[in-house]
Amino acid sequence: MDWKLELVFVPVADVDRAKDFYVNKVGFNADYDERVNENLRFVQLTPPGSACSIAIGEGLSDAAPGTAPNLQLVVSDIQKAHDQLKGNGVDCSEIQVLDWGHFVYFQDPDGNKWAVQYIPSRPNG
């Protein structure tokens, strides 16, 4: 039996601001956005090529905005990822080359921390 991680909740203060950041600056796909009722809004966003999405919204979690655990994306071209983030106005780190991968770091407007990793030893990153 497979156990697949397909959705991670990311607590944010302003859903529209976060959605704009993830879609228009980072490049996630906007899959779903529905206000279920006055206390519940569910927004699902997916990084291109990923089987795992993030959920932001209202009434989804008691976690404080900005307290998501460190999240990590893996890409096949760290320079291209860095250039895309910078070009879209994301305040991100320079590329850090470590023995276990090359990394770029950024935070969303609420302070949720992200790492973008390229793994040289893995085919296609």
- Expressed in angstroms, the distance from the first to the final Cα of the chain is 26
Q: What's the pLDDT tens digit per position in 52-80?
A: 999 999 999 999 999 998 999 999 999 99
Segments making up each domain of the chain, as ranges? 7-118
pTM: 0.94
Quote the CA–CA distance of 81 and 76 in Å, as a whole number: 9
| 122 vs 106, higher pLDDT | 106
Residue 125's pLDDT band (cuts 50, 70, 90)? low
- Under CATH, domain 7-118 is a member of which superfamily? 2,3-Dihydroxybiphenyl 1,2-Dioxygenase, domain 1 (3.10.180.10)
Which residue do the tokens 């991968």 mark? 101
Q: Diameter of the chain by CA atoms? A: 49
